[in-house]
Amino acid sequence: MERTISIIKPDATAKNVIGKILTRFEDAGLKIVAGKLTRLTKEQAGAFYEVHKERPFYGELCEYMTSGPVFISVLEGNDAVALNRKLMGATDPKQAEKGTIRADFADSISANAVHGSDSKENAEKEIKFFFPELAQ
Ligand code: ATP
Ligand code: MG
């Protein structure tokens, strides 16, 4: 059993598709074991995307992530990290496989509907960051 973090980003919450996206996770066998609707502060977004600090889109990314509410959840299941990434599709929705969350709901490479942890190690760090009470 593995856990991962999903963030439904501001473009998707604005479109009223939180329920549709959560249904994709549930239909794929992932269990939602924690969740909250919140708005990230500049400090939280900056710290969360710290790995991208040197990338040219860092400022834009942090602006965007704080532009509206996000729904953050912890998903649990077999191979949860990889399964969530598969359901999400490629970072750029134009490259995302048909039927994936980003192909169906994302607007652009920056406003791309969802975030998902990219490794088991980062999943643990991200769970600790957003749900310290759940950290193992
Ligand atoms: P995420 O970490 O959000 O799950 P990802 O792992 O598919 O997405 P990363 O390379 O980690 O992609 O990039 C983090 C986020 O930064 C992307 O989801 C996207 O919102 C933004 N981003 C990535 N590349 C670009 C780019 N070339 N231009 C603008 N924004 C970008
Ligand atoms: Mg990433």
pTM: 0.97
115 Cβ below 6 A of ligand 1: yes
What pLDDT shows up at residue 129?
Answer: 96
User: Mean pLDDT across the chain, nearest whole number?
Assistant: 97
Q: What percent of the chain has pLDDT over 90?
A: 97
What pLDDT shows up at residue 135?
Answer: 75
SS (H, E, C) the chain: CEEEEEEECHHHHHCCCHHHHHHHHHHCCCEEEEEEEECCCHHHHHHHCHHHCCCCCHHHHHHHHCCCCEEEEEEEECCHHHHHHHHHCCCCCCCCCCCCHHHHHCCCCCCCCEEECCCHHHHHHHHHHHCHHHCC
115 is an active site residue: yes
Q: Looking at the predicted structure, is the pLDDT value of residue 136 above 70?
A: no
Q: Looking at the predicted structure, is the pLDDT value of residue 35 above 80?
A: yes
Among 53, 61, 65, 67, name the best residue to mutate to test ligand 1's pocket (greatest count of ligand atoms within 8 A of Cβ): 61
